[in-house]
Structure 1
Amino acid sequence: MKYPFEVPFTFIEANPDVYISAVFSCLESEFLVLPKGNGFIDYTVFETGYEVLKRVTNGFQNIEPVPITRAAFQNPMIIIVLRAMLGFTPPEWAYVTTQRTGIEINQGFVRTLDRNIRMAPLTPLGSGLIKKERVEALIETACQLLNSPVPEVESDKIHRLDKADTSAGPSAIRTMSSMGVPYAMLLYERFLGRPFAGHRDSVSELIGDSLESAIEEVLTKAGVSYRKTKRAERIAGFDQAPDFIIPSEFNPQVVIEAKITEDDGTARDKVTRVQHLASISLAGNPRTPKFEVIACIGGRGFGVRREDMKKLLIATRGKVFTLKTLDALVEFTRLSEFKTK
Structure 2
Amino acid sequence: MPSVSESVSRVVEAESWDQRVARIRLIPQQHGTGEHPGIYAAIAREAYVPHLAPDFAYIHEAPFYERPYFEEVYKAAAEATDDFRSVTVTNLKDAVMDDPRTLLVFRTIVGLTKEEFAHSTTLAAGPLDLSGLSAGKIDAMERKGTATTEDQARVVAETLSAVMAGTLFGDPPGDLKSKQDKPDTQGGWRAVQGFASHGVPYSMLLHQRHYGGAFRQVLDATSSKRGDLIEDAVEALFKDNGIPYIRTGSHNQGDIEERFEVRVTPAPDFVVFDDSDTLRAMLECKGTNNGGTARDKALRFERLRDESIRLGGIPLLAVLGGIGWARVNDTLGPVVRDTDGRVFTLANLPEMLTVAPFPSLIGLAAD
Q: TM-score range by the shorter chain?
A: 0.7 to 0.9
The one-letter amino acid paired with 2:321 is G
The one of 175, 186, 202 equivalent to 1:183 is 202
The one of 272, 285, 294 equivalent to 1:246 is 272
The one of 42, 49, 60 equivalent to 2:73 is 49
- Structure 2: distance between partners of 1:112 and 1:28: 39
2:5 corresponds in structure 1 to: none
The one-letter amino acid paired with 1:314 is R
Q: Do the aligned partners of 1:268 and 1:308 also contact (CA within 8 Å) in 2? A: yes
- Structure 1: distance between partners of 2:224 and 2:250: 10
Q: Do the aligned partners of 1:257 and 1:294 also contact (CA within 8 Å) in 2? A: yes
2:50 corresponds in structure 1 to: 25
Quote the offset at 1:105 in angstroms: 4.8
- Structure 1: distance between partners of 2:165 and 2:27: 64
Q: What's the RMSD between the two structures over aligned residues?
A: 2.9
Give SS of 1:295's match. strand
Q: Number of residue pairs matched?
A: 326
Give SS of 1:181's match. coil
Q: Does 1:143 align with 2:166?
A: no
Q: Which stretches of structure 1, 4 residues or more, deviate above 6 A after TM superposition?
A: none
Give SS of 1:330's match. helix
Aligned in 2, Cα 1:333/1:92: closer, same or farther, shift over 3 Å?
farther
Q: Does 1:222 align with 2:241?
A: yes
What CA deviation, in whole Å up to 9, does each residue of 1:64-86 have, x standing for no partner?
33332322233233111112112
- Structure 1: distance between partners of 2:298 and 2:153: 43
Calculate percent identity across the aligned residue pairs. 25
- Structure 1: distance between partners of 2:213 and 2:240: 40
1:161 corresponds in structure 2 to: 180
- Structure 2: distance between partners of 1:157 and 1:280: 49
* Structure having the higher Rg: 2
The one-letter amino acid paired with 1:10 is R
2:114 corresponds in structure 1 to: 90
Quote the offset at 1:305 in angstroms: 4.5
- Structure 1: distance between partners of 2:156 and 2:26: 61
Aligned in 2, Cα 1:12/1:31: closer, same or farther, shift over 3 Å?
farther
2:146 corresponds in structure 1 to: 125
TM-score when scaled to structure 2?
0.78
What stretches of structure 2 of length at least 5 have no aligned partner?
1-11, 32-38, 258-262
Q: Do the aligned partners of 2:52 and 2:345 also contact (CA within 8 Å) in 1? A: yes
Quote the offset at 1:340 in angstroms: 2.6
What stretches of structure 1 of length at least 5 have no aligned partner?
none
Quote the offset at 1:222 in angstroms: 2.4
2:326 corresponds in structure 1 to: 303
What CA deviation, in whole Å up to 9, does each residue of 1:67-110 have, x standing for no partner?
3232223323311111211222211111222233235557xx42
What CA deviation, in whole Å up to 9, does each residue of 1:288-309 have, x standing for no partner?
33x3221101112222353211
